[in-house]
Structure 1
């Protein structure tokens, strides 16, 4: 008795994945595949774990991918283990030694404040110039 190293892919789910990746609805995929395909048949197809190679070729052609892409796609989540940044079992207190800021956050806040101040002054100056121009234009018409 031997167990398979990797489970067989659910081909219907894989088709659904690639259809959704292409922003297609089931009826749109059915239209791309032509007669006799309908939205209902696409729905039934996506529910099947095993699909004939001939149908896979039609679907792959419509989605502009290879049959191997459909057969080999796996949506098994990948698990990443990240180093724990906490000391011991105490999850309340962070390990201060791991904090390595390369800038002072207050400096960044002050820079942003200065940028806003410069923009505000530029907008006020532009407003004053437009008011002066409008006054000049109105003065010419009234005079």
Structure 2
């Protein structure tokens, strides 16, 4: 029987959580103070002692219960729930997010504002230079 079909294969659950966290075995090994081969062996184990499981949970940033109760279906349901909440209204209809402004117009406003600020800075520098010239001219 493969590790994919065993529902309580704790090593496979650790492996999937690690993968979902975009963490390599080497990174988990470093966090646990061991080597990649030990992590590989652990991920192929059906059971792991509770103390080691606590260390792994901490390194992965999850709880021991999250590892024990992990399921692929739960992950899919979690992401489906997020998708449904973000993109559909209470009737289940997909909402579109249309901009109420033209992004290029906004960018051109920023360019114009930047130009005005530059001109003000340039004018202030000219005034400062004129003041310094008058100051040195008097001496």
Using structure 1 for the length normalisation, give the TM-score: 0.51
Match of 2:13 in 1: 14
Gaps of 5+ in 2: 85-94
CA RMSD of superposed structures (Å): 4.2
CA distance in 2, matches of 1:67, 1:126: 59
Count of residues paired in the alignment: 115
Using structure 2 for the length normalisation, give the TM-score: 0.52
- Structure 1 residues 15 and 128: CA distance shift in structure 2, 3 A: same
Matches within 5 A, 1:13-52: 13-16=12-15, 17-18=17-18, 21=21, 25-31=27-33, 37-46=34-43, 48=44, 50-52=46-48
Match of 2:76 in 1: 78
Match of 1:3 in 2: none
Gaps of 5+ in 1: 1-5, 32-36, 83-97
Matches within 5 A, 1:1-143: 8=7, 10-16=9-15, 17-18=17-18, 21=21, 25-31=27-33, 37-46=34-43, 48=44, 50-54=46-50, 55-60=52-57, 63=60, 65-76=62-73, 78=76, 103=100, 105-106=101-102, 109-141=104-136, 143=138
